[in-house]
Amino acid sequence: MASNFNERIDRRHSDSLKWQKYGDQDILPLWVADTDFRSPDCIIDALQQRVAHGVFGYGGYPHELAEVIIARLLARYQWAVKPEWLVFLPGVVTGLNLAVRAFTEPHQGTIAPTPIYPPFRTAASLANRSQLNAQMRLEGQRWVMDLAALEPQMTGSEKLLMLCNPHNPGGTVYRREELEAQLRFAQQHDLIVCSDEIHCDLLLEPGVQHIPFASLSEDAQQRSITLISPSKTFNIAGLGASLAIIPDKDLRKRFTRQRLGMVPDVDILAMVAATAAWRDGQSWLDEKLTYLRQTRDLLTQRVNAIPGLSLAAPQATYLAWIDASQLKIASPALFFERHGLGFSAGREFGDDGFVRFNFGCPRDLVNEALRRMENAVRSLPRQPAL
Give 384's pLDDT tier (boundaries 50, 70, 90).
low
The pLDDT of residue 2 is: 78
The pLDDT of residue 1 is: 53
**Is there a single domain that holds both residue 148 and residue 237?**
yes
Judging by beta carbons within 10 Å of its beta carbon (0-12, 13-18, 19+), is residue 141 exposed, middle or buried? exposed
Summarize the confidence of residues 178-197 as an average pLDDT.
98
**Is there a single domain that holds both residue 362 and residue 241?**
no
Summarize the confidence of residues 106-116 as an average pLDDT.
97
**Is there a single domain that holds both residue 351 and residue 315?**
yes
**Nearest-angstrom CA–CA distance, 140 and 231:** 30
Q: Each residue of 275-290: pLDDT tens digit?
A: 999 999 999 999 999 9
Give the three-state DSSP class for 335: helix
Q: Which of 280, 310, 327 is the last residue of a domain?
A: 280
3-state DSSP percent of the chain in helix, strand and coil, to 5: 40, 15, 40
The answer to whether residue 191 is domain-embedded is yes
Residue 307 has pLDDT above 60, yes or no: yes
The answer to whether residue 124 is domain-embedded is yes
The pLDDT of residue 194 is: 98
Residue 296 has pLDDT above 80, yes or no: yes
Q: How many domains does the chain have?
A: 2
Q: Each residue of 258-267: pLDDT tens digit?
A: 999 999 999 9
The pLDDT of residue 367 is: 98
Residue 335 has pLDDT above 80, yes or no: yes
φ and ψ of 365, to 5 deg: -70, -40
**CATH classification of the domain holding 108:** 3.40.640.10
Contact (CB, 8 A) for 136 and 114: yes
**Is there a single domain that holds both residue 372 and residue 241?**
no
The pLDDT of residue 382 is: 76
**Is there a single domain that holds both residue 276 and residue 289?**
no
**Is there a single domain that holds both residue 136 and residue 215?**
yes
The contacts found for 125-131 with CB under 8 angstroms, 24 or more apart, are: 126/97, 127/97, 127/100, 127/101, 129/100, 129/104, 130/157
Q: Over the chain, what is the mean pLDDT?
A: 97
Summarize the confidence of residues 304-326 as an average pLDDT.
98
Picking from 118, 151, 117, 155, the residue whose alpha carbon sits closest to that of residue 134 is 151
**Nearest-angstrom CA–CA distance, 351 and 121:** 13
**Nearest-angstrom CA–CA distance, 246 and 220:** 11
Sorted by sequence, the CB contacts under 8 Å of residue 165 that are 6+ apart come out as 172, 173, 174, 179, 195, 196, 197, 200, 210, 213
Domain that holds residue 36: 17-40+282-377
Summarize the confidence of residues 15-31 as an average pLDDT.
97
